Structure 1
Amino acid sequence: MEEHAETTVGECVELEYQVAREDMRQALKARARASGRARRAQRFALIGVAAFVGASAVPLADGEAPDTQSLVIAGLIVVLLFVLQPWLMARQFHKIASRNGAYSGRVDDFGVTVSNTGGSSRLNWLAAPHYAETPDTFVLLSGDKNVSCLTVLPKRGVREAGSVDDLRTLLDRHIRRL
């Protein structure tokens, strides 16, 4: 399917796209940065890693060999929480989103409409008061403290480079960039 956009400057930007796994990975990463709960969970995980590394380093102060078991556990925590878990979440979100085939979106002064074979949803700007820009997407985020909802708008769904700028301008006009 060809991806393209039509733009009327200052009024609306239309998008057509297939959701990609990388879109979901970037969106979930942006959501994690915006969510207080996710930031706290990451801090807690880092404290756990630091504790395991510290426990393995204590024997070094006494001139003994480090506790390799603690180092291995710290490494596993890092891999699980910061590599495997985000990859698995993006994979699952992509699997769910791609079931609905091609997406079309419309962003205008009233909000955002996203449609696919499964239906459509219309968000006014109050429902998504924030957005984050990633290298490949714009991610609209809900205003609750856990950022429970997100809407992904891939930049590749916009045909002309100027239309990406028009979309950014529309978003900046109505909601706050994080």
Structure 2
Amino acid sequence: MEDRAETTVGEYVELEYQLTREDMRQALKARAKASGRAQRTQRFAVMGVAVLVGVSVVPLAKGEAPDTHSLVLAGFLAVLMFVLQPWLTARQFHKIASRNGAYSAKVDDSGVTVSNTGGSSRLNWTAVPHYAETPDTFVLLSGDKGVSCLTVVPKRGVREPADVDGIRTLLDRHIRRL
């Protein structure tokens, strides 16, 4: 069998897969990084911690005890927001995507075609000018400022292990890796 990692013009890679929650979690994390959302979230977390410290220090400076119930509640809400929220979002995206059953995809020189029981979608490279690679997926990303669209292509869906390199070669040939 020929090595597909060195794809030539006209070659393609086909995949078959079921999307998982982990696929969606990795894809949403890659999207957040690409859109700058991850940096804004980190800044917001730092500001939240600064406010919590400030709320604690002011009463201490006055010789009073800080309101520990408010601090515990605020800390609990911060943990929920930054830890549980991404998990819940990935769960919801997976729930929507899994309604359509098994997926098949074809990556070639003109773009990506993704099909499932709900229909099929053809994306040319101008529709997804960027991609990110996670440990388990390739995440194709739209070019708008908010990165409003993403397409998840799980690596486990390939027929041959060398096809992962073939997909990477096709993507690198046509779009920019983030």
Specify the TM-score bucket, using the shorter chain as the normaliser: 0.7 to 0.9
Whole-angstrom CA distance in 1 between matches of 2:84 and 2:14: 34
Unaligned runs of 5+ in 1: 1-6
Tell whether 2:120 aligns with 1:103.
no
Matches within 5 A, 1:18-33: 18-33=18-33
Whole-angstrom CA distance in 1 between matches of 2:95 and 2:23: 12
Please give the secondary structure, in 1, of the residue aligned with 2:168. Answer: helix
Matches within 5 A, 1:119-130: 119-130=119-130
Question: 1:147/1:60 Cα in 2 relative to 1: closer, same or farther (>3 Å)?
Answer: same
Whole-angstrom CA distance in 2 between matches of 1:67 and 1:175: 53
Whole-angstrom CA distance in 2 between matches of 1:57 and 1:8: 59
TM-score normalised by structure 1 residue count: 0.87
Matches within 5 A, 1:127-166: 127-166=127-166
Once the two structures are superposed, residues 114-168 of structure 1 have per-residue CA deviations (whole angstroms, 9 ceiling, x without a partner) of 0000000000000000111111111000000000000000011113321111111
Please give the secondary structure, in 2, of the residue aligned with 1:113. Answer: strand
Q: Is the 8 A contact 1:100 1:118 kept in 2?
A: yes
Give the CA RMSD over aligned residues.
2.0
How many residue pairs get aligned? The number is: 172
Displacement of 1:40 in angstroms is: 2.7
Please give the secondary structure, in 2, of the residue aligned with 1:19. Answer: coil
Question: 1:128/1:69 Cα in 2 relative to 1: closer, same or farther (>3 Å)?
Answer: same
Give % identity.
79
Please give the secondary structure, in 2, of the residue aligned with 1:78. Answer: helix
Please name the residue that 2:81 is paired with. 81
User: In structure 2, what residue type is equivalent to 1:108?
Assistant: D
TM-score normalised by structure 2 residue count: 0.87
Please give the secondary structure, in 1, of the residue aligned with 2:163. Answer: helix
Displacement of 1:42 in angstroms is: 4.4
Please give the secondary structure, in 1, of the residue aligned with 2:164. Answer: helix
Q: Is the 8 A contact 1:57 1:67 kept in 2?
A: no
Question: 1:8/1:38 Cα in 2 relative to 1: closer, same or farther (>3 Å)?
Answer: closer
Unaligned runs of 5+ in 2: none
Displacement of 1:97 in angstroms is: 0.3
